[in-house]
Amino acid sequence: MIRFFLTKLLYLVPTFLGITIIAFGFVRVLPGDPVLLMAGERGLSPERHAELAAQLGFDRPLWQQYLDFLGRLLHGDLGNSLVTKKPVLTEFLALFPATLELAFVAIVIATVIGVPVGVLAAIKRGSWFDQISMTVALVGFSMPIFWWGLLLIIFFSGTLGWTPVSGRISLMYFFPPVTGFMLIDSLLSGQKGAFASAVSHLILPSIVLATIPLAVIARQTRSAMLEVMGEDYVRTAKAKGLPFRRVVMVHALRNAMIPVITTIGLQVGVLMAGAILTETIFSWPGIGKWMIDSISRRDYPVVQSGLLLIAGLVMIVNLLVDLTYGLINPRIRRR
């Protein structure tokens, strides 16, 4: 198991290096220039432009800038934002809990609903439940997040007035962040009603963010279950006279879980992408919105280091998923 773990860990090194190149290259491939964006309509004389570019280190050859970036990275220095002038890591750490909280709740919603729906659709294949749930899943998968979010806001917050429009907690509550997770901080603050307010603010954004993963997980569970239910050992288990419930929950589901867990792991990447739009609509102060702002301002250090941090995170989650396979299926860890 340790060897399995170490091999997996070793694979991360070239992947991570590759990501540094992509992260560094991506924002520079985009047309546009942070110095010019700062000047706006006023324009900038070529001399002043050169002066500012030199001050920011953009006048040097790209490979040199890249090596510089890599070198500082090894020292744990992710650079400073061009806009706020603050260290990228400080900003990331301030914003990341908000995204994590939202993504965590979303993935829990997606899994808790998605897996049972998929299982049920598989064992009742062809039934009205199967047909309807899979159609809804297809619609959910194709839903434009921005439009979907706005629709929910207008209906639930605007028309019905059940949920707040946006933000993480009502403005009447004011306490310094301790963990950065509003659900926990609101409890720690001891202020009456703070936790309920935090929960009510989380409902719509987490539903919006969960929509696509939920659809994917439900469909993946269904197809994995269908495959497993046709296997010989399941037929044998049925023939032995085991209760159907036990056949499904223990024999079939456990084996069907491997592709499902892979899918759930892959959804972390989807969640990060979805967070960008969800956070923008719901004014959720997380890293998705931060990345969007930074890309539009061509804030190179934030975009490259931010991408790196997010990619690193997705990599770690995938590693954990790999390890989970080992736990679920002993054959994998012995290979």
Partner 1 sequence: MRRMSRSLIAASILALCAAMPAAAKTFVYCSEASPEGFDPAPYTAGTTFDASAHAVYNRLAQFKPGTTEVEPALAESWEVSEDGLEYTFHLREGVKFHSNDKFTPSRDFNADDVIFSFMRQASTDDPWHQYIPGITYEYYDAMEMPDLVKEIVKVDDHTVKFVLNRPEAPFLANIAMPFASIVSKEYADTLAEAGTKEDLNNLPIGTGPFRFVAYQKDAVIRYQKNADYWGEAPKIDDLVFAITPDGSVRLQKLKAGECHLMPYPAPADLDSIRADDSLKLDEQPGLNVAYLAYNTTVAPFDNPKVRKALNMAINKQAIIDAVFQGAGQIAKNPIPPTMWSYNDAIEDDPYDPDTAKAMLEEAGASGLSMKIWAMPVQRPYMPNARRTAELMQSDLAKVGVNAEIVSYEWGEYLKKSTEVNRDGAVILGWTGDNGDPDNFMGVLLSCAATGDGGANRAQWCNEDFSKLLSEAKTTNDIAERTRLYEEAQVIFKEQAPWDTLAHSTQFVPMRADVTGFVMSPLGDFAFDTVDLAE
Instruction: Report the site for partner 1 in 215-274 (rule: CB under 8 A).
Output: none
Q: Which stretch binds partner 1 (CB under 8 A): 18-26, 29-37, 69-77, 218-226?
A: 29-37
Considering the complex, what minimum distance in angstroms separates the CB of residue 53 from partner 1? 11
Handedness of CA 139, 145, 147, 148 (dihedral sign): positive
Q: Is 46 in the site for partner 1 (CB under 8 A)?
A: yes
87 vs 326, beta carbon nearer partner 1: 87
In SS3 terms, 285-322 reads as: CCHHHHHHHHHHCCCHHHHHHHHHHHHHHHHHHHHHHH
Q: Is 84 in the site for partner 1 (CB under 8 A)?
A: yes
| Alpha-carbon span 109 to 207, nearest angstrom | 8
Specify burial of residue 149 (Cβ count, 10 A radius: 0-12, 13-18, 19+): buried
Q: Are 152 and 207 in contact, with CB atoms under 8 Å apart?
A: yes
Considering the complex, what minimum distance in angstroms separates the CB of residue 191 from partner 1? 11
277 vs 314, beta carbon nearer partner 1: 277
Q: Is 179 in the site for partner 1 (CB under 8 A)?
A: no
Q: Is 200 in the site for partner 1 (CB under 8 A)?
A: no
252 vs 275, beta carbon nearer partner 1: 275
170 vs 223, beta carbon nearer partner 1: 170
Which position among 60, 86, 124, 254 is part of the footprint of partner 1 (CB under 8 A)?
86
15 vs 90, beta carbon nearer partner 1: 90
11 vs 174, beta carbon nearer partner 1: 174
- Amino acid at site 30: L
43: CB partners within 8 A, 6+ apart: none
322: CB partners within 8 A, 6+ apart: 8
Considering the complex, what minimum distance in angstroms separates the CB of residue 292 from partner 1? 9
Q: Which stretch binds partner 1 (CB under 8 A): 65-73, 148-156, 216-224, 251-259?
A: 148-156
Q: Is 172 in the site for partner 1 (CB under 8 A)?
A: yes
How many residues of this chain bind partner 1 (CB under 8 A)?
59
Q: Is 325 in the site for partner 1 (CB under 8 A)?
A: no
The HSE-up count of residue 296 (CA atoms within 13 Å, CB side) is: 6
Alpha helices in the chain (DSSP H): 2-29, 34-39, 46-56, 62-74, 88-123, 128-141, 145-152, 182-189, 194-229, 232-239, 244-246, 253-281, 287-296, 300-328, 330-334
Which position among 12, 33, 100, 113 is part of the footprint of partner 1 (CB under 8 A)?
33
Owner of token pair 């290096």: 17
| Alpha-carbon span 212 to 288, nearest angstrom | 16
Cα radius of gyration (the chain): 24
Considering the complex, what minimum distance in angstroms separates the CB of residue 171 from partner 1? 5
Q: Is 289 in the site for partner 1 (CB under 8 A)?
A: yes
Which position among 73, 150, 321, 332 is part of the footprint of partner 1 (CB under 8 A)?
150
SS3 86: coil
Specify burial of residue 222 (Cβ count, 10 A radius: 0-12, 13-18, 19+): buried
Considering the complex, what minimum distance in angstroms separates the CB of residue 322 from partner 1? 34
Which position among 24, 69, 195, 282 is part of the footprint of partner 1 (CB under 8 A)?
282
36 vs 315, beta carbon nearer partner 1: 36
Specify burial of residue 4 (Cβ count, 10 A radius: 0-12, 13-18, 19+): middle
Residues that bind partner 1 (CB under 8 A): 30-34, 36-46, 48-49, 52, 55-56, 80, 82-86, 91, 94-95, 150, 153-154, 157-161, 164-168, 170-172, 174, 176-177, 280-283, 285-286, 289-290, 293, 298
